[in-house]
Amino acid sequence: MAIWNLGSINADIVYSVPHIPAPGETLSSTGRQTYLGGKGANMSVAAARAGARVNHIGAVGADGRWAVERLLEYGVDTRNITEIATETAQAIIMVDPKGENAILLHLGANAEIPQTTLQTAMAEAETGDWLVIQNETNLQRTGANLGKKMGLKVAYAAAPFDADRVMAVLPHLDFLILNAVEASQLEAATGQAPADLPVQDVIVTRGADGADWYGRADKQHFDAIKVDPVDTTGAGDTFTGYVLAGLDRGMPMEQAIGMALKAGALMVTRHGTADVIPDLSEVQAFQL
Ligand code: ADP
C-alpha cells in the first residue's frame, strides 16, 4: 500500500544569536544554517525511512527546489509537489547560547497548495492507502473528505493545534495523533477526552512518559525508551511517520507503536530534524 501525505515543506533557517533581539533592536547573527523542516516533510521522511512508499502532496516556490531534491534523496515520491509562484514556507529560528529560541513562521506556499495538485495525486491513490494531514497546509478538509470518499484511511496529526480544524475533519478520521498538550487543548475546547472521540484509533504521545493508544476496545499505555535527550525537535513527527509506516505494512498497532517508540527515542538523542531521522536498520538495531 502507500501513504499520501498532504503536508508542509519548510526551509528551517536557524540563526545563532548572542541573545533574542528585543523590539527595535538590530542584532548580527553569529551563524546561519538551513535545514529541511515542516511537520509534513518530517513525517514523509520518517515514513519513507521506515520503509513505506510515501507520496508527498504539497507546494514550494522556485526557492524550494532544493527541499524537493532533499525529499527525493530521502526516498519520498515528490511528483505531487507543485512549484508555484510564491515563496517556500520558512521558519526563521533564532537560537541563543542557552538554547532559548524565537521562531517566526511564514506559511508561503504551504497555504496555497493548488486543489488540482491534490486531485491529481488522489487519482492515483488506491483503496486502503493512507492519507495523512496535519495543520500546516490548506486543503485539509477537502483532502479528508476526498480521502474518505475514495476509501482511503485518513490520519490526522493535530499540530499545530486548532480546535475548529480538528472538529471539522473528525468525522472523516480513522486515526488521530496528538501530543499531551494538544490532547488537553482538545478536551478543554470540546469536553471530549481522547477515549470519547469517534475515531477508531487515537494516540496521545507523552514525551519521556511514552504514549497511550485508545483503540476500539480499550486504552493501552506504552512506556518511552530511556535515553538522554539532547534535542526533542521532530520526535512527534518521527513517531507518527513510523507508526503509520508500520500500520501500512500490516503490523498490529502494538508492534507499530513499539517501532515508533524506538524511532522517537533515537531521534531525541540527535540534533536536527528531517535530516537526522533514523532509518529502519538503525531502529531495528537499537537495543533497549
Ligand atoms: P511532540 O514532539 O509532538 O511534542 P512527544 O514529545 O510526545 O511529541 O514525543 C513523541 C514520542 O517520542 C514519545 O511518545 C516518545 O515515544 C518519544 N520521545 C519523546 N521524548 C522522549 C524522551 N525524552 N525519551 C524517550 N522518548 C521520547
CA of 207 relative to ligand 1 center, distance in Å: 3
- Give the CA-trace dihedral at 163, 167, 170, 176, to 10 degrees: 10
Assigned domain for 190 exists: yes
Residue 33 lies in a domain: no
In this structure, the residue with its CA closest to atom 18 of ligand 1 is 207
CA of 8 to the centre of ligand 1 (A): 21
Does residue 102 lie within any of the structural domains?
no
pLDDT in tens, the chain (288 residues): 999 999 999 999 999 999 999 999 999 999 999 999 999 999 999 999 999 999 999 999 999 999 999 999 999 999 999 999 999 999 999 999 988 889 999 999 999 999 999 999 999 999 999 999 999 999 999 999 999 999 999 999 998 899 999 999 999 999 999 999 999 999 999 899 999 999 999 999 999 999 999 998 889 999 999 999 998 889 999 999 999 999 999 999 999 999 999 999 999 999 888 999 999 999 999 976
| CA 264 to ligand 1 center in whole angstroms | 6
Structural domain boundaries enclosing 139: 3-8+38-85+110-285
Nearest CA to ligand 1 atom 24: 208
What DSSP assignment string belongs to 7-72?
---EEEEEEE-SSPPPTT-----SEEEEEEE-HHHHHHHHHHHTT--EEEEEEE-GGGHHHHHHHH
Q: How many folded domains does the chain comprise?
A: 1
Binning the chain into helix, strand and coil, the percentages to the nearest 5 are 40, 25, 35
Look at residue 84 in the predicted model and tell me its pLDDT: 98
Q: Is residue 93 part of a domain?
A: no
From the CB of 243, is ligand 1 less than 6 Å away? no
Longest CA span, the chain: 57
Residue 28 within any structural domain of the chain: no
Question: In the block, which residue shows the cell 499520501?
Answer: 4
> Is the minimum distance from the CB of 34 to ligand 1 under 6 angstroms?
no
Atom of ligand 1 nearest to the CA of 233: 2
Residue 146 inside a domain? The answer is: yes
Nearest atom of ligand 1 to the alpha carbon of 240: 10
Do 14 and 37 touch, CB atoms closer than 8 A? no
Strand partners, 169: none
Predicted confidence at residue 160, as pLDDT, reads 87
Residue 211 inside a domain? The answer is: yes
Residue 96 lies in a domain: no
Cα 170 to ligand 1 centroid, rounded to whole Å: 24
> Which CATH number belongs to the domain containing residue 169 in this structure?
3.40.1190.20
| Residue 216 confidence (pLDDT) | 83
Q: How far is the CA of 235 from the centre of ligand 1 (A)?
A: 5
